[in-house]
Structure 1
Amino acid sequence: MKWFSVLIAGLVLIMSGCSSMGGKDKEWAPPPMAVPLQPTIQQEVQIARTSQLLLRNDITDEQRAELHFQRGVYYDSLGLRELARYDFNQSLSINPAQAEIFNLLGVYFTQIGQYDAAYEAFDSTLELDPSNHYAERNRAIALYYGDRIDLSLHEMTQHYNDNPNDPFSALWLYIIEMKSNQTDALAKLEQRYAKKDDQWGWALVAMMLNKISNDEAILEVASGAKDNLMLAERLTETYFYMAKRYQLAGQYNEAVSLYKLSLSFNVYEYVEHRYAFLELGRIFSDLRAERQEQLKESEQGKE
């Protein structure tokens, strides 16, 4: 823990220096970072042990389904998506009544843009477990990325109303509302922020509302982190929503850089890490289409 205390102390100094440089739009240099997560001995041992158990002939189908699920979770935590999906499908082939697996597959399908498959997976989760709040949010987000904004807004509004103290539900509801009415979206987020509690995630809402600067948000987030793992997780989320703020403002260079920072900590199981890939792909596609349109107009002007 001593090295982590040094890291936080250095972070405080960096942020203090950045704060003294100017106003809310000033950039930090270098950005606050955590040590990227690496595979642990425990993860590797568990994968090896689970693989050995799956080779045995004396385990029951129930045990085999559980072992495939466990190994899939370990693979997923290491970013080995296809190996994880293989194990999840193997587990479902034995025991199809597993809500959590369908939720994980739904997020995976969202990440790679297979939205119809994602909707079906989340529907299966909620059929098996109607109280699964993560699946509710994930389905609304999948509808957002699938450009089914009205349905997404309806589901995310209902999800937020079930737990108005959740800052991440407030953030996603704001992001979805921005698709239809930016002024109303900002006003509604202000109203939700006025009812905030002491959860650290509300610092991200304050940042989205420009109530605090980037460096102030990072300092608040980092100061509550107890170790490198927590810092990496929180920075993954923070840089994602910071990138989304710039993206919504049309500042794509900043957004791309911040999405890459969100990816840099290797927190593979967080949806912010997964969706950062999706957001980067959408930005590059939009910029490519815009560039092609400009070239087309330029060619037409020469005729």
Structure 2
Amino acid sequence: MMPNDIAFPTIFFEDEGPGSILDPARPVTARSRRWKAGEVGRALHSHPRGQLLWAEEGILRVRSGDTHWLAPSSHCVWIPGDVVHAVAMETDVSACFIYIDPSVTRVDKGECEVLHMTALMRQLILRFCALALETAAKGERLSRLSQVIIDELATLPSAPLSLPAGSDPRLKRVTDRLLESPHDHAGLEELARSSGAGVRTLERLFRRETGFSFSEWRSRLRLMEAVNQLSHGKSSTEIAGRLGYMSVSAFVAAFRRHFGVPPQSYLNGGQGGDRDTTHAIHNQG
């Protein structure tokens, strides 16, 4: 199941941690810790520094505005400075967050987005977080490492797959239901009855507000849920059966068409030079 059952607190506060340190001489600051599944790392908050959220182990979920991202360790989420957001843990998580001072201009990422993590960036972040905890003289070393992190961050490729949920109340009754239960096999006629709209009206709402037909929208949702299940160690056989694919081979083929790699290669960055992507879910309301 997509992790919409994790409740984000609605209170808002200004972050007073490393994301709020304004100091061009310290262009990169960091925070790392472990969380249990279901914990909320931060209620709705903002900070002047841009933030890269990455789970070394586990899966974290980020909300900003009407958008939710589900990010396994193969990906990270970039949040620009002063953007209100919240973070929740889908599984037990060991996370490293880095914060970029607004004086840094080389990171030209003006919107929230999911990014593909490179092996180099993983090691840079882990090394920076480890050094930041040491008490010995480290200013010059952190400064040099900060510049490499900034250079690498500026080149991380975007993974812009998104799934808008729409704003029309009738449409949202359907998208909310399916986002909560991607394995729901109800057909369009049944969904239309529960939404208070006719089938043709609901079809028009999907195309007008999401840019996808109903079948395209549902297919994308199921593939996103497949990534979630893969992150939990589920096999292709288990996932195909749960999500309603006719066969395992049909699921593998659909996954490969969409992400460019077979399911079991996805979380380790793919094989044979393929690059994978990830997803953002626009869950409005």
Q: TM-score range by the shorter chain?
A: under 0.3
For CA contacts below 8 A with separation 6 or more, give which structure has more relative contact order: 2
More strand per residue: 2
Query: Highest CA radius of gyration, 1 or 2?
Result: 1
